[in-house]
Structure 1
Amino acid sequence: MNLFQSNYVNVNDVNLHYVTKGEGELMLFLHGFPYFWYNWHHQLEEFSKDYRVVAVDMRGYNLSDKPEDVSAYKMPILMEDVRQLIEAFGEKTCTLVAHDWGGAIAWAFAYTYPEYVKRLIMFDAPHPYTFRRELSENPAQRQASSYMEKFQQPDSHDYFLANDCEKLKQLLIAPGLEKGYLSNEDAEKYMKAWQQPKALKSMLHYYRAAGFYPFEESVKKPLNLPHTMFESPTLILWGNADSAFENSNLDGIEEYVRDVTIHRFDGVGHAPQHEKPKEVNRLIREFLTKTS
């Protein structure tokens, strides 16, 4: 891990922390909640062999700037972060790898700026069109997403900071330690990231800015994406035991993604890149080879 270069880049009026390693085509990694760049360390080690890998702390997370206004976390601003990141590294296109909230941003980005995305690799982030459908039609998805009501409350960060981040430890660390895919050292890194000043408040601004709940209102809002079909090769790696997203989110995705490969991990939860890193890396490698 000491071989990663840690630095900052100023984009879109914020300083974003990132780590990087390797040379070649840009491979940009976007994490979700409640992670930070370290979420990708298994993939960074593997693909830095032949790519320039960059994993960023999204705005509001860990060592990156944490704007105070909820409006600073609206989707057009988050997409502009990504666009300027790619250009800041001297590139016009990249392989974009994303998970959870990072995946939500990556989907929107791909349909807004498709020319920047040579390949798309997605982990447990529902497609915006199918997720809208599932929230509208599937009671099980509305129940699975009901946590968003709590997350978008103005004081929800106090709830997660209480008792030394006990709720977040139950959400992410305890299952990882129990199953063996997280170490005590990993747990300490996450705790340190969560307890950065103002971090949890900013992390939850993503939910507040999106305002998903109540779902009856959010599904009526127009998506405002310029395209309905994404043309570049896309790999979706999906944990079938993800408690946040129904597997039906994958149904009909071919209507919106021209060239899509889907791999489902049975018995795996929300973060396959944590639980099955060797298999994930093998599948990504096969995908990259096939689409190079």
Structure 2
Amino acid sequence: MPESTIKAGSLTFDALVDGPPDGELVILLHGFPESSRQWTAHVAELAAAGCRAVAFDQRGYSPGARPAEVAAYRMPHLVQDVLDVADALGADRFHLAGHDWGGSVAWCTAFAHPARVATLTSFSTPHPRAFADAVREGAQPVPGYHRTFAPEGAEAMLRDNLAWIRDSLGSAIPAGHAQEYLARLSRPEALRAALSWFAAKDPADVAIGPVSAPSLYVWSDGDPVVRRRTAELTAKWVTGPYQFVALEGVGHWISEEAPESTALLMAEHVRRYG
């Protein structure tokens, strides 16, 4: 998979890039504790379909994009990174996909900048307001572990060879991918930066409205956090064309547990509305 760097704004991001330079741009955003490598199959599939596919290691994960201040990881900065990468690649409009935290960034970008986002694909992550709706209904518990993720907790998480992260990844994803994620986050400065996403989280940043971009939301019944009711409520917060796909027997790491089928789903979504 071709590796590259992208100078975007004041930061430099490591990235996987494939496909013709004049193809429609598709930007893919990874989650925690993953990296752009989680999108290997999707980048290849999109490139084969004639798209310019770009998965970049987001703020804190790329050594050249690692601010020290926790406030630098609030959602508006993460959204701006997406726009800066698109600008650096010369794209006024682009397709956008995300998983986990990357899914949150994708939803917020699509809402805040509808003129720029041609299509949206989210794996695992529901629209933020759907999550809030489900919590109010009592259908969705708030994950308690988020409160334990703070930059000052990085040293504790590093104990036992990153046992917490290793256990959370389990055996469902490719071993080579897991080794790369663990190697990256074994550096204290990298882990502190990744955990800053959690510490910087502000409910006001995700109090967004309906998304108008054609949207594909892929949820899995084995996800330990997002309940089915939460996933189903996402439809309420999309005003454009919407497709909901529920995968059976798949856990949280959708893009890596079911790479072929989800890559085809995304490529078809992009083709349909490109």
TM-score by length of 2: 0.92
Deviations 1:239-272 (A, max 9, x none): 1110121121123323221211011111211121
Q: Does 1:10 pair with 2:8?
A: yes
Q: Does 1:47 pair with 2:46?
A: yes
Name the SS for the 2:243 alignment partner: strand
Contact 1:239 1:271 in 2 (8 A): no
Q: Does 1:288 pair with 2:270?
A: yes
Task: Tell me the equivalent position of 2:152.
Answer: 155
Contact 2:14 2:56 in 1 (8 A): yes
| Stretches (4+) displaced over 4 A | 221-224
Structure 1 residue identity aligned to 2:109 = F
Name the SS for the 1:118 alignment partner: strand
- Which of residues 210, 214, 222 in structure 2 aligns to 1:233? 214
Name the SS for the 2:195 alignment partner: helix
Task: Tell me the equivalent position of 2:124.
Answer: 124
Contact 1:160 1:167 in 2 (8 A): yes
| Distance in 2 between residues matched to 1:163 and 1:224, nearest whole Å | 37
Task: Tell me the equivalent position of 2:191.
Answer: 200
Are the structure 2 counterparts of residues 231 and 8 from structure 1 closer, same or farther at C-alpha, using a change threshold of 3 Å?
closer
| Distance in 2 between residues matched to 1:64 and 1:41, nearest whole Å | 21
Q: Any residues of structure 2 matched to 1:202-217 within 5 Å, and which?
A: 202-210=193-201
Give the alignment's Cα RMSD to 1 decimal.
1.8
Task: Tell me the equivalent position of 1:106.
Answer: 106
Name the SS for the 1:186 alignment partner: helix
Identity %: 27
1:137 Cα deviation after fit: 3.2
Are the structure 2 counterparts of residues 150 and 18 from structure 1 closer, same or farther at C-alpha, using a change threshold of 3 Å?
same
Contact 1:59 1:65 in 2 (8 A): yes
Contact 2:70 2:196 in 1 (8 A): yes
Deviations 1:93-152 (A, max 9, x none): 11101111111111111110111100111101121111122233326422xx11111113
Task: Tell me the equivalent position of 1:30.
Answer: 29
Structure 2 residue identity aligned to 1:250 = A
Count how many residue pairs are aligned between Structure 1 and Structure 2: 270
Q: Does 1:256 pair with 2:247?
A: no
Gaps of 5+ in 1: 212-217
Are the structure 2 counterparts of residues 222 and 272 from structure 1 closer, same or farther at C-alpha, using a change threshold of 3 Å?
closer
| Distance in 2 between residues matched to 1:149 and 1:168, nearest whole Å | 16
Q: Does 1:273 pair with 2:255?
A: yes
| Distance in 2 between residues matched to 1:169 and 1:224, nearest whole Å | 32
| Distance in 2 between residues matched to 1:16 and 1:269, nearest whole Å | 28
TM-score by length of 1: 0.86
